[in-house]
Every structure is written in C-alpha cells, then in structure tokens.
Amino acid sequence: MMLQQESGYFFDMKYFEEKALNGEWEIVENYLSGFTKLTDNRYSMKMCFEIRKQKYLEALDSKEKTRALEILGKDLKVFQTYNEELYREITYLLTLENFRDNEQLSKYGDTKTARKTMIVELKKLIEANPRLNDKLVFPSLKPSRLRTLINQSLNWQHQLCKNPKPNPDIRTMFVDHTCSPPGPAGASSSTPRSPSVPAAVNPSAVAAATGAGTSVPLNQTLVSALKHSRTPPTPMNNEQRGKRLRSVPQATEATNSLVVRQQVPRSLDDLTRTLFCTLNQGSTVTSMDFHPSLHSSLLIGTASGEISFWEVGRNERPILKPFAIWNSATCSVLFQAAYAKDSNVSVCRVSWSADGKYLGVAFTKHLVHLYTYQAPNDLKEHLEVDAHVGSVNDLAFSSPHKQLCMVTCGDDKLIKVWDLTGHNLFNFQGHEAAVYSICMNVKENVEYILSSSVDGKIKAWLFDNSDTKVEYDAHGKYCTTMLYSADGTKLFCCGTSKNNGDSFLVEWNENDGVIKRTYAGLGKKSMGMMQFDTTKNRFLVAGDDKLIKFWELDNPNILASVQVDGNLSSVPRVRFNRIGSLLAVTTADGRVKIFANADGIKHLRAIQAWSCRASSKANTNPAMTHLELGEGSSARRSKSFTELPEILKCQMITLPDTMYPTAKVARLVYMNNGVGLLGVGSDGTQKLWRWNRTELNPTGKAMASACPVLWLPNSGFVMTNDVPENSEGTIPCAIISKNDSYVLSACGGKLTLFNMLSFKVMVSFMSPPPRSTCLAFHPQDNNVVAIGKEDSSIHIYNIQSEEVKAKLTGDEKCITSLAFSMLLAVLVSSDADAQIFFWSIDTWNLKKSLKMYLRDESPVTGDTQVQFHCNQINLLVCHREVLSLYDASRMELVMQWVPKAHMSGSISCATYSGNGKLIYTALTDGNIVIFNADTLMLRCRIAPSVYLMTPNLPNSENVYAAVLAANPQEPNQFAVGLSNGAIKVIEPQASRRGNNGSWMGKFKRAGKPPRHGGRACSSAMEETVSDDGNSGANTI
C-alpha cells in the first residue's frame, strides 16, 4: 500500500473501503492524501468532508464530547471558510443530547450502517473525481521492463569483473556476480550452467525523440500528455492485464445478429442498436456528420463529390448539392491542370462548426468549400479555398483566441489554418509524408492540434508556432484517426496496421504518452481503414468485419456487436449524433442505416408525428403557415365543443392556510415526487403543503379528496425571501431541486437557497440590481442554475463554487421564463417583448431568436412563458394573446390557439400536464380550458362558477386563476392560485371511480347542474349557451 500511495499510480478501492468500514480514519485520510488534496477540486473536498463528518458523528454518538470538539476544531475547521452556515450547523450538534434530534440526521442509524452509506457516497465521488478515476485500474506494465532492470544491474556488475567473459555464467540474483578466473583450455564446470540472461535492451528503443526546431512554449499539461515520443509498448494479453476492481466478463466471438456481453443493463439500454430507418443516398458515402444541435439532421459527403442534408426523422433529403467549381479564376494552375486531366472529385470530409452555422467540405483535389447554414434548409455558398496541392484529407473547426477558424491538412504534408474570409493564418510543416487526419483539443486554456501522417507519425502543434516539439509513432505505424472523449480528457486512436493489416483501437495515457488500454474484439486482416466514433464520455463504436461493435470507454472488452442485414462493407463508416441517441452506419451500396436508442426513437417518432400534422394542415389550407384553432367559422367552433367527451364531475379542495395573512399567490410549484405543493406569495413568503398518509389517502400522494397540511418544521422557521423596500411590481420566482431537498427563490432581492426540510437558509447570493426574474436548474447538475435578470441578461451560476460560468446577452427586455432541453442541448429563454431565444448549453452561444406573430402577421408584445414537453422537443409558449406550440429541434412554429369570441378573457397562464398529453390553460374571464397537447384541440372547459363555489355575483367577476401548476405524478391533477389569494387543487372525480380518470374520457350530454354544496371539496356541472347562440356546448 505504501508503493501505491507514494507512486499515486493505483488507487486500491477494496483496501480503502476495508479501512473505512473498520473506522481506521487516520489510515483512510493518509492513503487518500497520496492521490489528492482537499483543495484539488470539489470532489476531493466533498470526500474529505464526508470522512471527517463521519468521524465527528461517531464521537458524538459515543458521548465523547471532548474528542468531538477536537475533531471540530482540528479537522472540520477548514471547511468554515467554504461554508460558514454548514460549519455552524455542525457545531450546533454539540449542544444536542442526541444529534439525531436534528431533522437532517433523524434517519442516521447505527455506526456500521452509517459507514456503509458513506462508502456508497465516497465511491461515487471517487469515480467522478478526475484525480482518481483513471487510477482505479492497475496500470499495465510492459512485460520486458523488469527483465530490462535486471539486465542493467547485471551488466553493471559484469563491467566490474576483472576478467569479464563474453557469455557470463549467472546462477542466482541473490549473490553479486563475478566472472570466475580463466581456467585451462577446454576445462568446463561440472555444475550445469543456467541459461544466460539476454543482453540489456538497446537504450535507443526507449529514448525520447524530439522534433527539430526551436523551443516551443508548451504548457505543462500538453508536455505531460504528449512529450513521450517513444514507440508504444506491445499490448498485453488478457492474462497479463491487471484485474479491474469490478468484475468484467471476457468477450466472446460474435456469432448472432446481436451478441451482448454481461454488463450493466443500463449500458445496453443506452446503446444505439435498434434499426430505425435507411437513407438511400445513391452513391458511396465517404463522410458523415450530424448537426451539433439539430440532432436528427445528418450531413453526408459522397465519392461522387456531392453533399446531402438529410432530416432523419422524416427520411427526407431537402438539400442535395453536386460538386461544382464556384470560381475557377481563383483556383491555382495546378488544380486546373489536375481537374482537366481527371474531373472525378470525391468528398474526403464534411464537418460542422460547433455552433452549427457553418459546414466545411474537403475534396480529393485541392479544394475546400465553406457554407453558411440557417435552419431548416437554408444552405448558402460562403467561401471556396484552393487549400492544398493534391487531396485535402481532413478538415476541422477551431477557435484560437476566440476566433472561429478552419483547419485543413493534405497530401502536400502541410496543416493550414484559415479564417472565414479565406485568409491563411498559419502553416504547420514538419511531416515527411501526407497528413492523413487532424484532431483539435483544449487543455488548461491552451488549444492545440494533433496530426497524423500516412507514415505513422503523430505530431502536436500549438497555434502561433509552426514548430512541434512533440512527436511519436502511431500504434500501427500507418494511417491513424484520433478522437478525444466529449470532456477532452481521453484520447483514442484507431487505424489499421501497415504490416499485417490488423485493425486496432487504443486509448493513450496522456501522462506518459503510451498506450493505456487496447480494446479487444477486432477482426484480423482488415480490407480497409477502420473508422470509429465516441459519445457521451461512455461509449466507443467501430465498424469492423461487417459488424458494428460497441465498447465502454473504461472496459477493453467488447460490450455488444450488431450484425446488420444488408450490404455492409467490411469497414463501414459510423457516426454518432452529439447526444449519442442516433448512430449512422454506411453500407457498400450507397445507403446509410440509422440506429437509435430509446431516446432517439422517441425523438424521431415525435418528429414524424409533427410532420404528419403539418402535412395534413398544409393539404387542408396551403396558404396557412400555422394552425389556429379558435378562429374560423362557427361550424368549426361548434365542432370543437360537440366532440367533447361526456361531462365529468370534478372535485377540488381549497388548501388550508393557518399562517398569518399574506399577499396573493404569485407562483405555484409541485414537488417532483408529487406529494407537496409550494406556494410563493407576492411578498416573498413561501408556504409548503404536504399530503400525509391517512385512511382516506393511504399512498400519501396529492389528491383533491384529502386535505393536505400546511407544513412547518419543528424549528418554526418560515421561508421568507429578502424583499427590498422598492419592490413594487416585483414578481417572485422559485424552483425546486430535482431531489426535492431545496428551493431556490427570490423576490426582488438576493437569491436564497432554502432547505425544504428545515426551512433553513443554506446560502444567499447575487444581490440586485439587476433583480432576478426567473430561474431554471440545469437538468444534470442541481448546482448549476440559469438566472434570468431584469436587465435582459441570463447568468449561468454554479452555487457550489459561487461563480458565474457564463453571462448570456441578446434579449432586449426583462427575461420572463427559462427552460432546458438536454435532448437538444439548448436553453430557451423568453422576454417581456414576446421574443424567444435558443442558446446552446455546450458553448452558451445564441443559436436563434424568434419574434412571436399572430396569423395576420401582426406582432405581439408582453410577457411570455416557455415550457418543454416531457419529450424535450415540443415547446409550449404562453402569451396573453396566443398559445403556441413550437418544434424546438427545428426552432419552428407548428400551431397556435387564440381565445374564442365567447371566451372574453386573455390567457393568464398555461402548463403541460404531468405526462405531456394535456395542456391546462387559465383565462382572465375565469374559464379554465384543457387541450390535447398534440393538436391543441379543446377537450374540456371548466366554468368559473365551478371552482369559485359561489353564484354569479358582481364581486366575483374579476376572480380568476392567476397561476397554475400541474402535478408531475398525477397527469389529471392541477392546482390554481386565484387572483383573490386562494389556492385550489382540481381533478376529475371519475379518476377516483376507475372510469378512465381523465379529462379526455368518454363524455355524455349534461343535464341540470347540481346545487353547489357548502364544502370546499365539492363538484358542480352546468350546460351553458355560448355567446354565438350555439346551445349545448359541453362544459364543466
């Protein structure tokens, strides 16, 4: 263990776990210190805190207050500077007779159980910690290294011999070697001689070779990653490999159409192994690239020189551009001569820029074409460059000094960097053969290029310097392609060996410049250059031996292989989309097969469904560019009502409020588990209602037939925001974390993070001005939050590190709403001028902005709210004048609804139901209408007399649902906050009787409405006459 700790090469999880479970804290911390320090990163800090906290709690549990005080002052004191509030809470535990009286520690069991729980948390932190996650596998050692060390020692001893023999007799290593004095001629020892040890290896085999040229100011990370230029060691076989900490079965030969290794089922579910469709390109595909944000849009280059743009979801090819010379006057004489001799031109590489606004095409003769792209189908010629003499073998985009550039390489042994006007910024020369591929990466803010040539040399280059100080031999000493993992921490190389034609796929150890891992399961004697791709820091895929083969990044054994029906080439080309939900695979007959995982299938089917609706709409009225349900003939209006199902009785409950009077409710937010509802008052006070388990409500879920309780912690704390004196016109904002543990809110003042159990303030930050107006947690990290501001900016803020990661500007008015889609990798914002903005969450750059218009093309103004459907593609946009649905994958309007003539009020709020099948919409005239979320077809209307529970009195005219929230776990339940301050929960009564339980059930014509009861939880039905005289409009 001392060697592991001092070398820092291998972290033995089993040893670490054993010591932690035994409570040997000094050994645990000492061992951990050999690999990471508390200040290295947040994972290391969290690990140290959890260990010391457990040690502290065990001292308290054993009533050793003196020892606990010592731990608090010696071990935990360091965390006070990072989180003073947390340190105060920990100190407060000393005053308790039993620390379990603290609400957050009430579930703390015995010591043994607590240690096991801590180990589970520590394992997650270790696997996520960049200081440790690459040290969990015992490092591969070259078999000859020990022998080399022995040889060097013996050679040194042999040189000290007075009479050194050419073939020394070495019998043992335990005695210093000396050659015996020379004996008589022909004499020999009677003792059998041991085989002689081979001479030491040639030092040149491991000597580092450096490229010629002047010194290059490489940063330490780049030098560490790339400075070792020795030939990689021979890959070890499975018996020589160190065992992984977690057991991984060995791979077997693929014999079926799908061969799956015994792995974690979650991994297999995420694999793109379901064939969805086939694109008929018509000519041999030579390069593919998915759009970086339109994840179902595929760019294809072919052997005939044409490029195509495919919409995979619709199996349509809206763009096809054959090869053409744009301006022959700007082309070199060499190109013109080569083209005159042979006019056949193929595409070598197609590539998108990171923002998806540009696409580059590299050809086999001299040229590069650069296009500008605007969704959905606007592709314009931007720039033609005579880039290289001969073939342009690869192309990529990069942004040195925050300037978007195009990098190319070619047969002329050069790597060139171009700006988007065609100006040649840099030329990198040093390869002695044609440059085959290039790869961009950034480490510690230093951007660099890796290049490989056809003679098997790999070099690294820095922008602003034409020399390379780093070079090494590629594994196969032939053409090699390189890719980094999505987070830029792992480098993979793939190719085919020049000598034997065997394919290889390896991961390089960037610290040592040698092979870290060789992936097994590849075929022998490949008929071409193997292609591969990687996605989501999880998977590798390669086309090999007419199969698609998958690996996990950290496991050398093949995870699964898929045999494709059809004419697949021996080494098909493969390409993931950015989020890993789709995989494109080429065939030998000019087609591309699209494979998808569950998320990809859901995405593509949603596109198909919307495409069918759009097609139907266009056939009905070709002049309409979007659908409006609520305008048109009275016959159409009548139909939208008479097609309603049978009238269902609804039930509702008014939430009790025993606290001191507060202002009207400004926000309603359900807890994600559906058992609680948070109300935010206009004065910044927040109230939480919870449903308890009772005989009437055995599940403890939110329901309109059981009254919840206004929940308060034992401490008596109340969640109240910082409200400045000049808070007139301030609208509070609040969101609940994904695990329902915290609520982040503001009401004109600082943002405050509250603990949902204790109501304690965890942290306050970001004082105005400008005031915060809306919030959205990052879907994958509760520590990152998007904050909309009054000054039209959006701050991407990390709560844990207390830093603004990015500041987005582009809106012109106050930000009113924010919504994330991880599937599309976008953040959507809306402002107070009815504008919608789409931001890339990879680069935080603005992708597109849209202004809202009505059917008559008149613009709308005012506050706008946005919300993503659960499929993360459909976007609901709510404005007081119009309800709109957008296809966010294409950033296009699909359909609209405007309030009808007999609904005199404007729209106050709208939201998707928990399952995304309905849209609940409240109007300022008191009506609540329920739509089918796919078609915006009106399914049900709840009259204001139902939930106001009073006859049509004059003073009730202006009472309406001002805010609305849908239960994420119960799709037919929603809550409304009325303009008079009351909060009600509403659902169809039939859901408690087993009769469909849906607002879209089978309706029948209503009779006379029953009399209103006196209880808050009662039902009312009515048959109304619409304003246009159409009798029988079914409503509730």
What mean pLDDT is predicted for residues 377-399?
A: 94
Q: How confident is the model at residue 819 (pLDDT cuts 50, 70, 90)?
A: very high
Q: Which amino acid is at 392?
A: V
- DSSP-derived 3-state class of residue 576: strand
- Please give the pLDDT value at position 1015: 29
Tell whether 113 is covered by a domain: yes
| More confident position, 366 or 727 | 366
Rounded Cα distance, 118 and 101, in Å: 20
Q: Which residue has better confidence, 1019 or 734? A: 734
Within a domain: 423:
no
Does position 640 have pLDDT exceeding 50, yes or no? no
**Rounded distance, CA 807 to CA 827, Å?**
13
Q: Which pLDDT score is estimated for 139?
A: 64
As a whole number, mean pLDDT of residues 135-160 equals 64
Is the predicted pLDDT of residue 602 greater than 70, yes or no? yes
Residue 452 pLDDT level (bands cut at 50, 70, 90): very high
pLDDT at 198 over 90: no
Judge whether residue 239 has pLDDT over 60: no
Residue 121: φ, ψ to 5°: -65, -40
The span from the CA of 335 to the CA of 343, in Å, is 10
Q: How many CA atoms lie within 13 A of 77 on its CB side?
A: 8
pLDDT tens for each residue of 322-366: 999 999 888 999 999 999 999 999 999 999 998 889 999 999 999
**Domain boundary at 107, 128, 149, which?**
128
465 pLDDT above the threshold of 80: no
The whole-number pLDDT of residue 54 equals 93
Q: What is the pLDDT of residue 597?
A: 92
Lowest mean pLDDT among 166-180, 335-349, 469-483, 543-557: 166-180
- CATH number of the domain to which 530 belongs: 2.130.10.10
- pLDDT-derived band at 233 (thresholds 50, 70, 90) equals very low
User: Quick one: pLDDT band at residue 210, thresholds 50, 70, 90?
Assistant: very low
In this predicted structure, what is the pLDDT of residue 898? Answer: 86
Residue 533: φ, ψ to 5°: -155, 165
Res. 406 pLDDT band, cuts 50 70 90: very high
CA distances to 43, 578, 687, 925 from 822, rounded to whole Å, are 24, 11, 30, 37
pLDDT at residue 603 in the model: 85
Q: Report pLDDT digits (tens) over 941-968.
A: 888 878 776 544 454 457 889 999 999 9
pLDDT tens-place string over residues 607-628: 877 766 555 554 444 333 233 3
Instruction: Convert 432-467 into a string of H (helix), E (strand) and C (coil).
Output: CCCEEEEEEEEECCEEEEEEEECCCEEEEEECCCCC
Round to whole Å and give the CA distance between 105 and 95: 14
Q: CA-CA distance, 628 to 896, in Å (whole number)?
A: 5
734: number of Cβ within 10 Å:
24
Whether residue 815 contacts residue 830, with contact meaning beta carbons closer than 8 Å, is answered with: yes
In-domain check, residue 954: no
- Provide the pLDDT for residue 696: 77
Q: Which residues of 33-72 are buried (b: 16+ CB within 10 A; e: fewer)?
A: eebbebebbebbbbbbbbbbbbbbbbbbbeeeeeebeebb
- Give the helix/strand (H/E) hosting 378: strand 378-386
Do 117 and 7 have their domain in common? yes
Integer distance in angstroms from the first to the last C-alpha of the chain? 73
Cα–Cα distance measured from residue 666 to residue 670, given in angstroms and rounded to the nearest whole number: 14
Q: Looking at the predicted structure, is the pLDDT value of residue 1002 above 50?
A: no
Say yes or no to pLDDT of 756 above 90: no
- CB distance 590 to 566 below 8 Å: no
Quick one: tokens of 316? 């349509």
Is 90 exceeded by the pLDDT of residue 381? Answer: yes
Average pLDDT on 271-278 reads: 91
- C-alpha triplet 796, 799, 805: angle, nearest 5°: 30
3-state SS of 754-798?
Answer: EECCCCCEEEEECCCCCCEEEEEEECCEEEEEEEEECCCCEEEEE
What residues form DSSP beta bridges with 535? 539
Q: Are 458 and 506 in contact (CB under 8 A)?
A: no
Rounded Cα–Cα distance for residues 691 and 689 (Å): 7
Burial of 137 (0-12, 13-18, 19+ CB in 10 A): buried
* pLDDT per position as a tens digit, 515-540: 889 999 887 776 778 889 999 888 99
How far from 470 is each of 222, 431, 447, 482, CA to CA, in Å?
9, 12, 15, 16
Residue 585 pLDDT greater than 80, yes or no = yes
How many domains, in total, are found in the chain? 2
Q: Which residues of 400-422 are buried (b: 16+ CB within 10 A; e: fewer)?
A: beeeebbbbbbbbbbbbbbebeb
Same domain? For 123 and 18 the reply is yes
* Share above pLDDT 70 across residues of the chain, in percent, rounded to a whole number: 75
More confident residue, 572 or 641: 572
- How confident is the model at residue 1035, as a pLDDT? 42
Over range 779-806, report the average pLDDT.
91
Select the more confidently predicted residue: 873 or 955.
Answer: 873
Of the candidate ranges 641-650, 828-837, 865-874, the one whose mean pLDDT is the lowest: 641-650
* pLDDT computed for residue 1020 by the predictor: 28
Domain of residue 117, residue span: 2-128
Residue 987 falls inside a structural domain:
no
pTM: 0.52
pLDDT digits (tens, 9 = 90+) for 120-133: 989 888 888 888 87
As given in the structure block, the two tokens for residue 1029 are: 């005289």
Q: What is the pLDDT of residues 59-116, one digit of tens each?
A: 999 989 889 998 998 889 888 878 877 888 888 888 888 888 887 888 888 898 899 9
- The verdict on residue 531 lying in a domain is yes
Tokens coding 768: 């105005």
Residue 209 reports pLDDT greater than 60:
no
In a domain, 315, yes or no: no
Residue 63 within any structural domain of the chain: yes
Surface-to-core class of residue 515, CB atoms within 10 Å of its CB (0-12 exposed, 13-18 middle, 19+ buried): buried
Say if residue 793's pLDDT is above 50.
yes
**Of residues 870 and 1023, which shows the higher confidence score?**
870
How much is the pLDDT for 5? 56
Least confident of 216-225, 234-243, 581-590: 234-243
Residue that wins the pLDDT comparison between 436 and 145? 436
* Per-residue confidence band for 863, with pLDDT thresholds at 50, 70 and 90: confident
pLDDT at 291 over 90: yes
DSSP 79-121: GGGT-HHHHHHHHHGGG-SSGGGSGGGTT---HHHHHHHHHHH
pLDDT bin (cut points 50, 70, 90) of residue 867 is: very high
Burial letters 694-715, b for 16+ CB under 10 A, else e: eeebeeebbbbebbbeeeebee
**What is d(CA 220, CA 810) in angstroms, rounded to the nearest whole number?**
37
The domain boundary residue, chosen from 586, 611, 636 = 586
Average pLDDT over residues 404-423: 94
For residue 617, the SS3 value is helix
Report how far residue 168's alpha carbon sits from residue 190's, in angstroms, rounded to the nearest whole number: 16
Place of tokens 């910024």: 425
CA distance 248 to 262: 8
Q: Is the predicted pLDDT of residue 786 greater than 80, yes or no?
A: yes
pLDDT digits (tens, 9 = 90+) for 241-262: 333 323 333 333 333 333 333 3
Residue 387 lies in a domain: no
For residues 10 and 114, membership in a common domain is answered with yes
The domain boundary, picked from 539, 561, 586, lies at 586
831 with 812: CB under 8 angstroms? yes
> Does pLDDT of 727 surpass 60?
yes
Q: Is 837 helix (H, G, I), strand (E, B) or coil?
A: strand
Question: Among 379, 371, 346, 349, which Cα is nearest to 362's?
Answer: 349
